[in-house]
Structure 1
Amino acid sequence: MCTLTFAWQVFPDAPVLVAANRDERRDRASEPPTRTGADPTVIAPRDAEAGGTWIGHNDAGLFVGITNRWLADPVAERSRGLLVTDALRESDARSAARLVEHSVDTHGYDGFNLVVADRTAAYLFEWDGRLRTHHLDPGVHVVVNSGAALGGGGAMIDAFHTPDGNPDRAERAAEQAANAREVRTALTPEPGETADRWLDRAAGVLGDHDFGVCIHEDGYGTRSSSLLHLDDDGWTYRFAGGAPCETPYRPVGPGESQI
């Protein structure tokens, strides 16, 4: 699975904070974050096998991230990573949301959970052949393959699904949901906590095996981790090119790719 944790409109000086692990086959090639394009410039890693990306932001302040979602009958006409790349070319969350809605009508995609957010709006899209849209409240949200543990509005809301007809996947989905709830609880902001301190704590959670979101399996596992801080004054991006339990985060500079 992948784990996408983000705090939206929780900290006044940082409307969008993201801490995310990418889980993938170990033989699937990828490239570290780099800057591409202009107006807006996109900062994102790249999936070298299918193109596109799983996470990124642009210099207009828009964040986009995706996790897989199980489908009984995968379509796979077009890579989900290309949808993320398309959305990152938009100027704000609302226009990116419209692009997602149009794209699923135009192309065939395997299942996904996709987040778009900027300082004024945040959306979670669930696609499994039918599109469901959540307009998110300010809070800490955790998205995994089986759904999301949503926070905000004074409530904790679960939006998980159980794959039909596959007991193994149903068991894994339940485990993912439990892990996501634990991550959400652990990353409830502490009194007086700053945005940077929250991100540091989030990095520790992503690499802590007790939370079940740093994966080490034969041929599969957590391949990278990202920490993003977006605000009106700019952005910081720290990237670990391996499992965060054993790989240090390094800054992605404003004018260079991550080495």
Structure 2
Amino acid sequence: MCLITFAWQVHPRWRLLLAGNRDEFHARPSAPLSRWNDARIVGGRDLEAGGTWLGVTPTGRCCVVTNVRDPRDPQHGVSRGLLATDYLTGTDDAVEHAQKLVATASSYRPFNLLTFDVEHGFYISNRPSSRAQLIDPGVHGLSNADFNTPWPKTRALMQRLQAWMDAGHEVDFAPLFRALADERQAPDELLPDTGVGVERERWLSSAFIRGEAYGTRASTIVAMGYDGKGLIIERRFGPNGHFEGESELSIST
């Protein structure tokens, strides 16, 4: 998952409303959104490492993981995907989990992690150092940099989520999927410099990334209500942005 915006404890119906794109190599094997047979997880599944990039549970948990874009930083350590699975299947609440993970975060590959339970949300990362930050109510964004770093696509997606809420929407998620499908690239003067070169920065600056070998694999919306009911919707894409299907599953505590 490489682009996320979410509203935490500010929507009148949804305790957590999250919209995000997962960008990945198309050759990496993945299973679509489903209820896992071997764990109380609802989400997609990375069939290479066995974890997930985004998942929820019937108990009201949600977890999302992204990498940190820095080609100079070696990708050594334990797989990031296991972070989400471990939180979703664990017994520690978000506060206890964050406190424990900070102590071992340096052993994982570079990561950003969002964890939510019914009361708290945390941003946890191990770059540039291991830390955990309690998430305040509001609209936030995350890509492959630090929490709320104002990359153009992150800022634009946050604005569109805020506009969706201001319009009074509750279950019409079409505007959010349109925002996730936006292929407009940022002007050069607004591009970040993450060490991948200007051509690649341009390509990666759109919300939806279209490519033969690498690109947006899934667009996902999670809506978890204060009443314990919710849903998760996933749209999947193949090489060059070819639409491959949509799934929707309910969540209920």
User: Shorter-chain-normalised TM-score: which range?
Assistant: 0.7 to 0.9
Describe the superposition over 1:8-53 as per-residue Cα deviations: whole angstroms up to 9, x where unpaired: 1121321011111100011111011222368x82112110111111
SS at match of 1:241: strand
Identify unmatched segments of 5+ residues in structure 1.
150-158, 161-176
Aligned to 2:76: 76
Q: Does 1:184 align with 2:158?
A: yes
CA contact (8 A) 1:110 1:128 kept: no
Partner of 1:154: none
- C-alpha change, 1:100 and 1:245, in structure 2 (3 Å) is farther
**Deviation digits for residues 94-142 of structure 1 (CA, Å, limit 9, x no counterpart):** 233234324426xx21111110113321111122262122211111111
Ranges in structure 2 where 5+ consecutive residues have no aligned partner: 186-205
The answer (yes or no) to whether the contact 2:6–2:161 under 8 Å persists in 1 is: no
Residue 188 of structure 2: aligned partner: none
TM, length-normalised to structure 1: 0.77
CA 1:44 to 1:100, structure 2 compared with 1: closer, same or farther past 3 Å?
farther
CA distance in 2, matches of 1:248, 1:136: 33
Q: Deviations over 1:141-165 (max 9, x none)?
A: 111002332xxxxxxxxx46xxxxx
Match of 1:250 among 244, 247, 252: 247
1:180-211 alpha-carbon deviations (Å, 9 max, x no partner): 111112221443513323x4322110012126
Cα pair 1:70 1:128 within 8 Å, conserved? no
Letter in 1 for 2:215: G
Alignment match, 2:222 = 228
Q: What is aligned with 1:156?
A: none
Once the two structures are TM-superposed, the CA of residue 216 in structure 1 deviates from its matched residue by: 1.0
Let me know the Cα RMSD of the aligned residues.
Answer: 2.6
Q: How far, CA to CA, are the matches of 2:236 and 2:75 in structure 1?
A: 30
- Does the residue aligned with 2:131 lie in a helix, a strand or coil? strand
Q: Is the 8 A contact 1:214 1:245 kept in 2?
A: no
User: Contact 1:87–1:99 (CA<8 Å) still a contact in 2?
Assistant: no
Q: Does the 8 Å contact 2:231/2:249 carry over to 1?
A: yes
Q: 1:45 to 1:191 in 2, by over 3 A?
A: closer
Contact 1:69 1:146 in 2 (8 A): yes
Q: Contact (CA 8 Å) 1:141, 1:184: kept in 2 or not? A: yes
Deviation (angstroms), 1:60:
0.9
Q: What are the equivalent positions in structure 2 for 1:37-52 lying under 5 Å apart? A: 41-52=40-51
**Between 117-126 and 186-195, the greater mean CA deviation after superposition:** 186-195
Q: May I ask how many residue pairs the two structures share in their alignment?
A: 226
Correspondence list, 1:25-36, <5 A: 25-36=25-36
- Corresponding residue number in structure 2 for 1:8: 8
Instruction: Supply the distance in 1 between the matched residues of 2:11 and 2:30 (Cα, whole angstroms).
Output: 32
Deviation at 1:62, TM superposition (A): 0.8
Residue 101 (structure 1) aligns with: 102
Identical-pair percentage: 30
